[in-house]
Structure 1
Amino acid sequence: MTSGQAVVEAKRLEELGVPRRTIWRRCEPGGVWRMLLPGVVLLGNGEPTEEQRIEAGLIHARESSMLTGVSALRRYGLKKLPDFGDVHVLVPAGRAIASTGFVHVERTRRLPVPRIRAGVPTAPVPRAVIDAARRTPELDPIVAMMAEAVQERHCVPRALAVEIDERSRFDARLLRGLAPILGGAHSVAEADAWSLWARSGLPAFRWNVKVFDATGRFVAKPDGWCDEVGFAWEVDSRGYHSGGDQFRATLARNARYAAAGIVVLQTLPSRIRTEPNLVLDELRAAFRSAQRRPRPDVHIG
């Protein structure tokens, strides 16, 4: 890892000939260095960067430690993450190292094989997601992390299920969060839709499948699809679909639905939470409408 100012262990400075009293004097308030963690020194007096905090955390945790949780997921490029403001590291179960300062230390008997990301030993994505999720009290951020990890092809849903089983089998929140992802949901809004559909009593829905007409031309990729009657459910965000290219794309999509004879219900994501019973009524009514006419000659692929 490279940084503007080095982060080093105080013991290493002593080995290089810097007297202990000099180290402490330079780390006093107003000094030229900063003691970031017990025995870990920033050779500068500014605020540490995220990279310097990570480096300090791994020095504190010592060999065989690795980054996990939110800080690890950022290194994989994930963005829909809660903000804990600390550095989460894994260490072997027998290591007597405590959390301190901005470092959250977690001892584990299941230390995974790390991936090296920008020079840092980092837990694999499924483990990092579940480690972050176990510390997250709200369900929405958990679903968002899981959905982004799967949608961006960092892992498959089954890998998350294995981690939950191995690490958090009694945490019902994680199972609730994963259920719609296993079903094919790609976002919090789609997870809400999946949960509402589960209450509807309607036949099986498929999620995020591609629909083609009789000639093989692409029609759409609906959020929810009932293949039994050829019925599509789109959970359309007003902000995303109301302007510019997105609005034109939505109109073109709806025209393709109409040309293919597909009944489609459009629902704002917010209504699934604020008016769930009304949305359920609309969902069932739209399904019955689709059921009353011959199934359109379309297929999924």
Structure 2
Amino acid sequence: MTHNTPVSPRPLRHLSEVHRRVLTAAQLRSHGVSAAELSDQCRTGGPWQLLLPQVVLLHPGPPTSEERLHGALLYASRESAPGVPAQPAAGEPHRPVYAEAMITGLAALTLYGFSSTPPLLSLDRVDVLVPRLRRLRSSGYVRVLRTSGLPTPRAVTGLPVAPVPRALADAVAGLTDADAVRRLLTEAVRGGHCEPAAVVRELTQAKLLTRPHVVDAVDSLLAEGRAVAEDRLYRMVTEHGLPDPVWNVDLRLPGGPHLGGLDAYWPDQAVAVELDTRAPRQDEDALWSEYARKREHLERLGITVVYITPRKLRESTEQQAAVVRTALMASGDRDPAAYVVVLPR
């Protein structure tokens, strides 16, 4: 038998190419390969090689990046889901179902297209996320990470991959270089992969905000996130034909107290827009109460306040523009607002 010979008695035609090159020992046994045959094929200089414990690469030479990822998932998947579907659908090759395992960390970010992460083949290890109670050890190039609540994976190149915020947290946990951490977090926001709040939430849950270099990177991340959101707000106003507001202002009562800062304000219509860029590491309930008090105070003065989150601004710009336009058009039906002093912020 050679690595080009189909393992019998059940052929592998229904599998995609990479899944014919990397199989578990259990899968090979189910296709008629005895333990003695497997040992002979994996001998030094033989046509097969042991990629990971119980995971076999069916050709000599180094594995490709795709084979390494597939092997890592086969190693980490639950044994009850061997990864080889019984029958193909409509003649199409099958991809295995990797039960309770997904790629995370730097490998995941590279799969998402991050430019600040190393190429897959240059990574010394591939991080795989599994449930906390799984009895599984790190081995070879695979590092096993555990979590009490496994997130819903995203399919990237047909592989289950942890969501970007979780993958970032797992990557950051292994980095001590402040610049590398900052580059990753900044690219996540600037590249539109996720919102800063989701990243901070994951870093908080991972207890990484006790590390000074991570805190510094998060401060840069929040500043980057606000800058991106402000730019999207500006483009929303111009691209959707809204009248020009005054930007980044503070409101005060004449001779009275400070009413708060706003990202955009239309004085003639007494309509304000504020970006909701709360950081989850703060007390969200207390901060939202502060937002609510500010809004109630302004609305008692006759000023309509529209809160927009960066996520809504990114995913439903047209809808948010319609909300602002409606508020501007409705201003003529309201009682005149109190006179306020508008100052640059």
Specify the TM-score bucket, using the shorter chain as the normaliser: 0.5 to 0.7
Residues 172 and 112 of structure 1, relative CA distance in 2, 3 Å threshold: farther
1:131 pairs with 154, 170, 189, which one? Answer: 170
CA distance in 1, matches of 2:221, 2:141: 32
- Indicate the SS of the match to 2:18: coil
Partners of 2:124 and 2:141 within 8 A in 1: yes
TM-score under structure 1 length normalisation: 0.61
* 1:172 to partner: Cα distance: 3.5
Q: In the alignment, does 2:35 pair up with 1:20? A: yes
* 1:73 to partner: Cα distance: 0.8
- Equivalent pairs counted in the alignment come to 199
* 1:184 to partner: Cα distance: 2.1
Gap regions ≥5 residues in structure 2: 1-15, 78-98, 239-247, 251-343
1:59 pairs with 66, 74, 81, which one? Answer: 74
- Indicate the SS of the match to 2:160: strand
Q: In the alignment, does 2:112 pair up with 1:76? A: yes
Q: Which amino acid aligns with 1:122?
A: V
Q: In the alignment, does 2:195 pair up with 1:180? A: no
| Corresponding position of 1:287 | none
1:122-166 deviations in whole A, cap 9, x for unaligned? 000011011101101111011101111110100011111110111
| Corresponding position of 1:279 | none
After TM superposition, the structure 1 stretch with the greater mean CA deviation from structure 2, 72-81 or 172-181, is 172-181
Q: In the alignment, does 2:143 pair up with 1:92? A: no
Partners of 1:134 and 1:174 within 8 A in 2: no
* 1:3 to partner: Cα distance: 2.5
1:78-115 deviations in whole A, cap 9, x for unaligned? 11025642110001100010000000101111211100
Gap regions ≥5 residues in structure 1: 186-205, 217-225, 229-298
Alignment of 1:1-301 (within 5 A): 2-3=17-18, 6-62=21-77, 63-81=99-117, 84-169=123-208, 170-184=210-224, 207=227
| Corresponding position of 1:240 | none
Partners of 1:81 and 1:144 within 8 A in 2: no
Greater gyration radius: 2
Q: Which amino acid aligns with 1:171?
A: R
For the aligned residue pairs, the C-alpha RMSD in angstroms reads 2.7
1:165-207 deviations in whole A, cap 9, x for unaligned? 111243343222111110127xxxxxxxxxxxxxxxxxxxx85
Structure 1 runs (4+) deviating above 4 angstroms are 206-210
Partners of 2:21 and 2:57 within 8 A in 1: yes
Partners of 1:5 and 1:44 within 8 A in 2: no
- Indicate the SS of the match to 2:176: coil
TM-score under structure 2 length normalisation: 0.53
